Amino acid sequence: MKVTQVRVEAHPLTLTRPIGDANDPVGQWHQRQLVIALDTDEGLVGYAVAVPGCLGVLPVFADVVIGKDPAGVRGLWEAMVGRAFKAGVNGMTRVAIAALDVALWDLKAQANSEPLWRTLGATASSVPVYASGIEMPLGDAELVEYYRRQSTHGISFGKIKVGRDREDDLRRLRLAAQALAESGKPVRLAVDANEYWSAKTAIPWVRALEQEHPLVWVEEPCPRRDVRALARVSAGVDAAVAAGENLNLVDEFLPLLLGGAVDVVQVGIQTTGISGALRVAETAAGFGLPVATVNCPGHVIAHLAAVLPNHLALEVLDAGEDALLEVDHTLGDGHLKLGSRPGHGVRPRAGLPVTDVLPRTGAAVLPGRGPGAGLLPPGFTPRSRTTGRITDHTTGCITDHTRD
């Protein structure tokens, strides 16, 4: 089986309520979802959902996968990351790579006639979850209603956005705990400051919150790459420090891991896809650290969570973000239960109107990192330039996604 073309469609989405954090307390109601489809010569289609902003770089990485067998998804992921070497795997580049990686895994599992969690090697399809509201724009009554609704799914673990007003945070933490207690289970809480604090601000603030309710973790209390600040917070509060949702490859996580700056490692689709998240999760396991998975459209990352022995909980959001999708999972007893549909089970809804078909435009080819870079000791001479094929990328250009 080979990928024959990459198709894209963008669709507007209005959420059922605004979502926002300390950086955006008013919140956002509207999104545009980019549906990416990988067609194959055997009629199977792999899907992923991303943000339309990645379209500008998508052709660069689509060129890597077109004409290739999805069975080699991890090798194709390596090739895409290698192509991004000069520019770096950041911003919309990582979004594009992640989306293509997810769609390739979808195809690989479909070709195996099994759900993705089984292709990844999991023996069970049930994943523990925690309720995340991204709820800073909500009033008290709305906040209570949200977490009370999550408690009806047996969820007793919730995460609250904090960071702008300590008294508000204490009150909202109390209200969320009361609502989640209706699950009939012991309540666990985490908080998320979305990089809003310095260490000097974070430590007394978190200590005050811990007086109200013990915290499983405080998420991104300081900027994502500030190893010293995150390590200070970890040493200064009882809660674990969770970080990583905005980092990409293993090399970005290593300073935090080596510096004792993270206690719970976060991975998600944005960790450069399922392949990238798997690599980071395995690295975290080598440091003896647990992993928490980050919410994404259709909870696709749950398939990876199911196979991780060091997995704590999957973030689930309920704000109408999956209104355009058909999913193959259910929530109950504090877990997400993945289905048995081949692939990852997330598809655009049947009959979804095409409001904006984005053109498959050309893009310059990036040369990527040279073969063997970083692998060979100094002074080692690889095969002769006269016997190996050398490709001149200086004038290369993708003119169309489709190949014969």
**pLDDT recorded at residue 371:** 55
Q: Residue 372: its pLDDT value, please? A: 53
Three-state DSSP class for 137?
coil
Res 87: pLDDT: 85
353 pLDDT tier (thresholds 50, 70, 90): low
- The average pLDDT across 147-170 equals 96
Q: What does the alpha-carbon distance between residue 391 and residue 371 come to, in Å, rounded to a whole number? A: 12
Count H helices and E strands in the chain, helices first. Answer: 11, 17
The answer to whether 303 and 275 have CB atoms below 8 angstroms apart is no
- Beta-bridge mates of residue 34: 10, 50
**Range in 9-23, 37-51, 169-183, 287-301 the model is least confident about:** 9-23
Q: How many CA atoms lie within 13 A of 357 on its CB side?
A: 7
Instruction: Report the number of distinct structural domains present in the chain.
Output: 2
Contact of 331 with 153, CB cutoff 8 Å: yes
- Chain centre to alpha carbon of residue 93: 14
Domain annotation covers residue 376: no
**pLDDT level of residue 354 (50, 70, 90 thresholds):** low
pLDDT at 394 over 60: no
Bridge pairing between strands 397-398 and 363-364: antiparallel
In a domain? residue 347? no
Q: Are residues 146 and 225 both part of a single domain? A: yes
Same domain, 41 and 179: no
The pLDDT of residue 401:
43
- Determine, yes or no, domain membership for 306: yes
- Both 194 and 310 in a single domain? yes
Residue 351 resides in a domain = no
Residue 383 has pLDDT above 80, yes or no: no
pLDDT tens-place string over residues 335-348: 999 999 999 999 99
Whether 249 and 177 share a structural domain: yes
pLDDT of the residue at 149: 97
Best CA proximity match to 245, nearest among 21, 13, 10:
21
pLDDT of 370 > 70? The answer is no
Percent share of the chain, pLDDT over 70: 87
Identify whether 164 is part of a domain: yes
| Same structural domain, 90 and 189 | no
Q: Residue 183: which CATH number?
A: 3.20.20.120
Is residue 222 included in any domain, yes or no? yes
The beta-carbon contacts of 321-328 under 8 Å, at least 24 apart in sequence, are 321/13, 321/15, 321/31, 321/297, 322/297, 322/298, 323/13, 323/16, 324/11, 324/13, 324/33, 324/35, 324/348, 324/349, 324/352, 325/49, 325/297, 325/298, 325/349, 326/350, 327/298, 327/299, 328/115
Residues 6+ apart with CB under 8 A from 372: 382
Residues 78, 139, single domain; the answer is no
Same structural domain, 137 and 102: no
Those residues whose C-beta lies under 8 Å from the C-beta of residue 98, and which sit 6 or more positions away, are 48, 50, 269, 270, 271, 272, 273, 276
Domain that holds residue 8: 3-114+357-371+383-398
Q: Higher confidence at residue 379 or residue 1?
A: 1
CATH number, position 16? 3.30.390.10
Q: What is the pLDDT of residues 105-156, one digit of tens each?
A: 999 999 999 999 999 999 999 999 999 999 999 999 999 999 999 999 999 9
Decide if 185 is inside a domain.
Answer: yes
Nearest to 47 by CA among 147, 116, 93: 116
